[in-house]
Amino acid sequence: MLAIVRKQLRNHPALIPLFIFIGGGATMSLLYLARLGLRNPDVCWDRKNNPEPWNKLGPNDQYKFFTVNMDYSKLKKDRPDF
């Protein structure tokens, strides 16, 4: 399979950027899915020891990927403990 792809790339060098960008996009999407699965508080991998991980987040924990003009260290607790 790889030999056929290598042969096509030698015959058609204009396909090289296509393979690079598709491979990069696939890699970035897999990394983002891994980040969502490991860092998102809505995902629970261990139901016995930590059934509700979103309740253990403090008000100054940042779990969003990107925030604009938001300083999480200055937030105060405005919700009750469960």
Q: Say if residue 29 is in the same domain as residue 49.
A: no
Domain with 10, as residue range(s), is 1-38
Q: Say if residue 72 is in the same domain as residue 49.
A: yes
Q: Say if residue 18 is in the same domain as residue 3.
A: yes
Q: Say if residue 27 is in the same domain as residue 52.
A: no
Measured CA to CA, the distance from residue 19 to residue 44 in angstroms comes to 35
Q: What pLDDT is recorded for position 18?
A: 93
Query: Tens-digit pLDDT profile for the chain (82 aa)?
Result: 889 988 988 999 999 999 999 999 999 999 999 988 887 777 777 777 777 776 777 666 666 666 777 776 777 766 676 6
- Total domains in the chain come to 2
The two structure tokens encoding residue 15 = 């396909």
The two structure tokens encoding residue 68 = 């604009």
End-to-end alpha-carbon separation of the chain, Å?
56
